[in-house]
Amino acid sequence: MPSLHTITPMTTRTVRFKQVDVFTTVPFKGNPLAVVFDADDLSTESMQAIARWTNLSETTFLLRPTDPAADYRVRIFTTSRELPFAGHPTLGTAHALLESGYAPKHTGRLVQQCGVGLVPIVAREEGAWAFAAPPARIRSLNDAQQQQLAAAFGSDVIDFTAPPCAVDNGVPWLVTRVNSAANCLALKPNRDAMTALMAASGTLGLAVYGPYRDAAPATFELRALLFGEENTEDPVTGSANAALACLLTTQNRRPGPSFTVRQGTAIGRDGRISIAYDDTTGQAQTWIGGHTVTIVDGSIRL
């Protein structure tokens, strides 16, 4: 008779897990995010494996802060890499934490510790929250790169009165203005040409935006297009909108003290982002805000 071997199950533990929809008040119209709680003992490899498994644009992991000024620490992963900062994960993680019962150190204000440092997040009207846009490095494209960009677009829609720039606030975007929101929505750039330009300009993706005119649903329509291995369109993107807000200030193209952006229209979403400039203090600040709704609330086995 063959011997029987007892199989000892691998030790596991269960922690809280949420999947939320960011930059929307309507479920399934924003940008989804997975949030894993109590992740302090997870290795980088484990976090990356979980992010690959959720198969969302980003998954975040909540940890105890190492900076006493912070309420919490977060690590942010795509399916293939870790990011030092991203916008919709910032708002989505804050929402998940607050909904779990966490009481901020200061009422109406959170401080997130992440790869770019400390990021303040403040309460806004009607349950919205807004994060302070991190400092950004801005670099103009050279003439050859501008020509390459125009050729990749395949049409004369770029508004070069606002020169395209690489804007890096933790995620490097190539921010480009076109003549109208309709031009933005209709854009179908050559992917091979854009992949080459992304590599040459040191950017992750294209943040293309165009203004609305009469009876506008927002001030701008924005699309965040990724090329190369990812080859997709991001539904609603906090870091891209933060990059846009920063570039508008640098180029003296602010549409006012505040404005709104719609994103995701081209792929059936309806993301809404509010951007506000605060120049009343000695240190000017730009706030990127929106709502978040919870879709899944449960646990995950680690």
Could you give the CA distance from residue 58 to residue 235 in angstroms, rounded to a whole number? Answer: 12
Cα dihedral sign for 289, 98, 21, 239? positive
Contact 168, 137 (CB under 8 A): yes
How many other CB atoms are there within 10 angstroms of residue 227's CB atom? 24
Classify 59 in phi/psi space as left (phi over 0), alpha (psi -120 to 50) or beta: beta
User: pLDDT value at position 207?
Assistant: 98
Closest C-alpha to 250, from 174, 140, 99: 140
Q: Active site residue: 45, 58, 125, 126, which one?
A: 58
**DSSP classification of residue 109:** E
58 in catalytic set:
yes
Contact 128, 148 (CB under 8 A): no
What single letter denotes the amino acid at residue 236? Answer: V
Contact 256, 274 (CB under 8 A): no
**Apex 243 CA angle, 240 and 245, nearest 5:** 110
Determine the straight-line distance between the first and last CA of the chain, rounded to whole angstroms: 37
Contact 119, 134 (CB under 8 A): yes
pTM recorded for the entire structure: 0.92
User: pLDDT value at position 7?
Assistant: 47
Interacting residues of 129 by C-beta distance below 8 A, sequence separation 6+? 91, 94, 95, 110, 121, 122, 123, 289, 290, 292
* Domains of the chain, earliest start first: 14-133+291-301 (3.10.310.10), 137-283 (3.10.310.10)
Q: Three-state SS for 239?
A: helix
Closest C-alpha to 239, from 117, 134, 111, 164: 134
Per-residue pLDDT of the chain (302 residues; tens, 9 = 90+): 444 445 445 568 999 999 999 999 999 999 999 999 999 999 999 999 999 999 999 999 999 999 999 999 999 999 999 999 999 999 999 999 999 999 999 999 999 999 999 999 999 999 999 999 999 999 999 999 999 999 999 989 999 999 999 999 999 999 999 999 999 999 999 999 999 999 999 999 999 999 999 878 999 999 999 997 778 999 999 999 999 999 999 999 999 999 999 999 999 999 999 999 998 876 789 999 999 999 999 999 99
Could you give the CA distance from residue 235 to residue 25 in angstroms, rounded to a whole number? Answer: 14
Closest C-alpha to 162, from 255, 235, 236, 227: 255
